[in-house]
């Protein structure tokens, strides 16, 4: 069994990539209201601050900050996966014996990508990557055209201009391969 080395820094800021089992599915945007409800419910029970989040059809990226006395992002992601999985139609669930034994729904990949944000520059790079991802994958031509993102909140709050990303550097396009 692999021994994953996770960084559990109290009050840490983290970048995550979480992926559906079926990379061809579109459950995250098809059932966006269920995802948003699950996100809000998890934030109430296990607080965190959403710095940036973008949902694509079969995966999402998020930059989150945990409370200063907490490091358990796995609990939050597990709760989010569980709530969302239980709120969408059963036909979406792909179960096999291994997943049933572990009480998994079959919607999500078992693992997720986690990266602790190290400094201001690292934070900026991961926010940019998160927001630019729909353009990178060819879903839209402009970041502002993708509706499933906190980018619009940040534009409203004056953190980004509406045309941000139209001349983005290739380093933000390819921070990670996904």
CATH class of domain segment(s) 13-168 = alpha beta
Locate the domains of the chain by residue range. Answer: 13-168
Q: What is the pLDDT of residue 93?
A: 74
Active-site entry in 14, 129, 131, 148:
148
Query: Please, are residues 39 and 87 in contact by the beta-carbon 8 Å criterion?
Result: no
Q: What is the pLDDT of residue 1?
A: 46
CA distance 111 to 2: 11
Query: Please, are residues 17 and 60 in contact by the beta-carbon 8 Å criterion?
Result: yes
User: Is 148 an annotated catalytic residue?
Assistant: yes
Q: What is the pLDDT of residue 100?
A: 55
State the sign of the Cα–Cα–Cα–Cα dihedral 32, 37, 38, 44: positive
Reading the chain (178 residues) residue by residue, the pLDDT tens digits are: 455 678 889 999 999 999 999 999 999 999 999 999 999 999 999 999 999 999 999 999 999 999 999 999 999 999 999 999 999 998 887 665 554 555 555 899 999 999 999 999 999 999 999 999 999 999 999 999 999 999 999 999 999 999 999 887 555 556 665 5
Contacts of 164 (CB under 8 A, 6+ apart): 131, 143, 144, 151, 155
- In the chain, DSSP finds a helix count (H) and a strand count (E) of 7, 4
Query: Please, are residues 136 and 173 in contact by the beta-carbon 8 Å criterion?
Result: yes
20: helix, coil or strand? strand
CA distance 81 to 7: 20
CA distance 16 to 144: 21
Query: Please, are residues 155 and 162 in contact by the beta-carbon 8 Å criterion?
Result: yes
């Amino acid at each position: 069994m692999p021994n994953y080395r996770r960084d559990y820094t109290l009050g840490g800021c983290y970048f995550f990539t979480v992926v559906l089992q079926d990379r061809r599915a579109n459950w995250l945007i098809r059932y966006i209201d269920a995802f948003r409800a699950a996100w809000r419910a998890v934030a109430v029970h296990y607080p965190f601050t959403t710095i940036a989040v973008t949902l694509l059809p079969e995966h999402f990226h998020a930059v989150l900050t945990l409370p200063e006395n907490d490091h358990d992002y796995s609990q939050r992601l597990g709760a989010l996966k569980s709530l969302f999985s239980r709120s969408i139609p059963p036909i979406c669930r792909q179960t096999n014996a291994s997943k049933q034994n572990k009480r998994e729904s079959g919607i999500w990949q078992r693992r997720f990508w986690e990266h602790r944000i190290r400094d201001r520059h690292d934070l900026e790079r991961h926010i940019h990557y998160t927001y630019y991802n729909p353009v990178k994958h060819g879903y839209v031509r402009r970041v502002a055209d993708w509706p499933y993102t906190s980018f619009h909140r940040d534009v409203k709050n004056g953190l980004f201009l509406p045309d941000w990303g139209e001349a983005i550097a290739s380093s933000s396009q390819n921070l990670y391969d996904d």
